[in-house]
Amino acid sequence: MIYLNGQFLPLEEARVPVLDRGFIFGDGVYEVIPVYERRVFRLPQHLARLQASMDAIGLSNPHSVDQWRDLIERVVALNTLADQSIYLQVTRGVAKRDHAFPLEAVPTVLIMSNPLKPPSIALRESGVSAVTLADNRWLRCDIKSIALLGNVLLRQAAVAAGAMECVLLRDGFLTEGAASNIFAVRAGVLLAPPKSNLILPGITYDVVLELARASSLNHEVRPVSEAEVRGADELMLTSSTREVLPITILDGKNVGDGTPGPLTRRLMQLFDRHKLDLRLENGVKAS
């Protein structure tokens, strides 16, 4: 069951007009929000990022935070699984095709649920392989835009090269993955590229840095050079659907000794504990 423009209905029955600007221009924004044990993970933060994306594209938010919470919780309740991945998107609505914003259009709001399947234990133990690619996307990667052709092509290039994700480099520095944030570890220090227009401000990225801070793990938020990525002892990716996952092969070569390193393991463990304790929805406990 999904929510579309005021109605709850089965996915198969949902229809969007051809002239929706999401379909014609990719003119819209989205969020992916994990639900664990029917509890929505970090909803205030996801809604704050949605608001930032809408502000950035000049789209007024059709719903208050309380309305969003209510709609999302109703979609969660209408679906059977305890762990879900909520996908929501807002487009600029239906209008005659013209690039400029329509004078009168009602935003299209979609909320749907997919099964949330975090990475298997086997995958967490082996880690995944990635390839470096030049980040050729636009300069507003901080907007969670539904126009993802750049990300789609990069991810496909990684898959075609036999890898699961790409590690993107722009002007000699690490940005992120096609659908994830990337961290490096060197000499026991967790390195995170700072938030900027060049990366999506990941909710999981924030969780990881909060966990590192709370557990006094050495970390630095600063530009990470290509050389530091290539010589990293550990690499990891983070996202709402993949949580924290080690990258153990980069461009066909082992990262470190080719197994998940100590800092990555510690962060996976801390993340597991944190996600199961959603009573601390907005905070991180020291350990």
Give the residue numbers annotated as catalytic, written as ranges: 144
Taking CB atoms within 8 Å and a gap of at least 24, the contacts of 212-218 are 212/267, 213/284, 214/284, 214/285, 214/286, 214/287, 215/266, 215/270, 215/286, 215/287, 217/190, 217/263, 217/266, 217/267, 218/188, 218/189, 218/190
Report the site for ligand PDD in 164-193 (rule: CB under 6 A): 176, 179-181
Instruction: Assess 200 for contact with ligand PDD (CB under 6 A).
Output: yes
- In the chain, the largest separation of any two C-alpha atoms, in whole Å, equals 58
The C-alpha torsion from 246 through 250 and 253 to 258, rounded to 10°, is 0
Beta carbon of residue 119, minimum distance to ligand PDD (angstroms, whole number): 13
- How many residues contact ligand PDD, by CB under 6 A? 15
> By C-beta, is 156 or 254 nearer to ligand PDD?
156
> By C-beta, is 206 or 251 nearer to ligand PDD?
206
> By C-beta, is 3 or 271 nearer to ligand PDD?
271
Among residues 22, 28, 193, 202, which is the contact residue for ligand PDD, using CB under 6 A? 202
Report the site for ligand PDD in 102-161 (rule: CB under 6 A): 151
> By C-beta, is 79 or 181 nearer to ligand PDD?
181
Beta carbon of residue 187, minimum distance to ligand PDD (angstroms, whole number): 25
- Residue 239 to residue 17: CA distance in whole angstroms: 31
What's the Cα-to-Cα distance from 211 to each of 159, 267, 287, rounded to whole Å? 31, 7, 9
Among residues 126, 241, 259, 269, which is the contact residue for ligand PDD, using CB under 6 A? 241
Instruction: Assess 28 for contact with ligand PDD (CB under 6 A).
Output: no
Name the site residues for ligand PDD (rule: CB under 6 A): 32, 151, 176, 179-181, 200, 202-205, 238-241
